[in-house]
Amino acid sequence: MRLSKYLYPLLTLILALCLWHFLSTFYLPEYFLPTPVKVARAILVGVTKETLLLQTWITFQESIFGFLVTLVLSFGIGLLVYSFRPLKEATYPFLIAFQTTPIIAIAPILLIWFGFGLESKIIMASMVSFFPMVVSVITGFSSTKQDYMELFKAFKASKFQTFRKLTFPNSLPFIFAGMKVAIVVSIIGAIVGEFVGSTGGLGYYILVKEQVLAVPSVFGALLILMLLGILNFTIIGVIEKKVIFWSGR
C-alpha cells in the first residue's frame, strides 16, 4: 500500500512526460508546446543565470502570508459564529457575495491602496483563499453531535471546556480540509496580483518571458507553480497527520 502511494503518481508522471514529448516533437510547434527537455533547460538557465529562484521565493512568501492571514480571520469569524449563532445567518450572504466578486476586478483597486509590493499580493492571496477556509471552520465548529454536547452539559462542563475538549477537536478534520484548499488557491491570488501589477514573483517572470516569446521559460514557471502547490498541500497533509493522528487519515 505504501509503495503504491508513490508508484502510481510516478508512473502517471512518466506517462504524461512521454505523451508531452511525443506531441511536442511530432505534432505541435514549439511556440505552442515546447518539449520537456527544452522546458527543463529553460528552468536550469532561469535558476543559474536569471532570477527564477528569487521570483519563486517572492510568490511563495505571498501565498504563505496570505494563507496565514486567512487562517487568523477564519478562526476569528468561526469563533464569533460559534458563540453567537444568529451571526451565521447574518454573515453568510455577505461571505458568498464576497466570494463571487472576481478578484481580477478588485486587484487594480488593491494596487492603488497598497502599492505594487508584497502587501497587495498578500491581501489578494488572502481574499482568494478566505471563503473555503472560513466555510470549513464554521462547518467544523457546527458539526459536533448534539448528544455529545448534552453529555458535556450533564457533567457541568463550561463553554470553554466544551469547546476545547469537544468542539475544536471534532472540527479539526473539516479545518484541515479547508486549509488544504486554501493554501493551494492562495497561490492563484498571488499570481493574479502579480499579473495585474508587480515588480517580482513568478507572475511577473511569466509576463516578462511572454513579451520576448520565451515559451519554454513560461512553461518552466508554470511547472514551478504546480510544484509550489503540491509542496504547500503536502506540508498541510503532514501537519494534519501529526495533529489528528486519531482520525485514521
- CA 75, CA 77: separation in Å to the nearest integer? 6
- In 3D, which of 14, 46, 41, 66 has the Cα closest to residue 205? 46
pLDDT grade, residue 18 (50/70/90)? confident
Mean of the pLDDT values across residues 91-117?
75
- Comparing 24 with 74, the larger pLDDT belongs to 74
Mean pLDDT of the chain: 83
- CA 159, CA 201: separation in Å to the nearest integer? 45
One-letter amino acid for residue 166 of the chain: L
Task: Specify the CATH number of the domain 36-242.
Answer: 1.10.3720.10
pLDDT of residue 3: 61
Interaxial angle between packed helices 118-141 and 103-114, expressed in degrees from 0 to 180 and rounded to the nearest 10: 130
Q: Per-residue pLDDT tens for 181-222?
A: 999 999 988 898 888 877 888 888 898 888 888 888 899 999
Contacts (Cβ under 8 Å, ≥6 apart) of 69 = 122, 123, 126
Do 192 and 126 contact (CB within 8 A), yes or no? no
Look up residue 167 and give its DSSP letter. I
Q: Per-residue pLDDT tens for 143-154?
A: 877 777 777 777
Domain ranges of the chain: 36-242
- Give the gyration radius of the chain's Cα atoms: 22
- In 3D, which of 121, 133, 85, 126 has the Cα closest to residue 196? 121
How far CA 186 is from CA of 64, 223, 243, in Å, comes to 8, 17, 22
- Comparing 190 with 245, the larger pLDDT belongs to 190
pLDDT grade, residue 2 (50/70/90)? low
Angle, CA 126 vertex, CA 103 and CA 249 arms, to 5°: 120
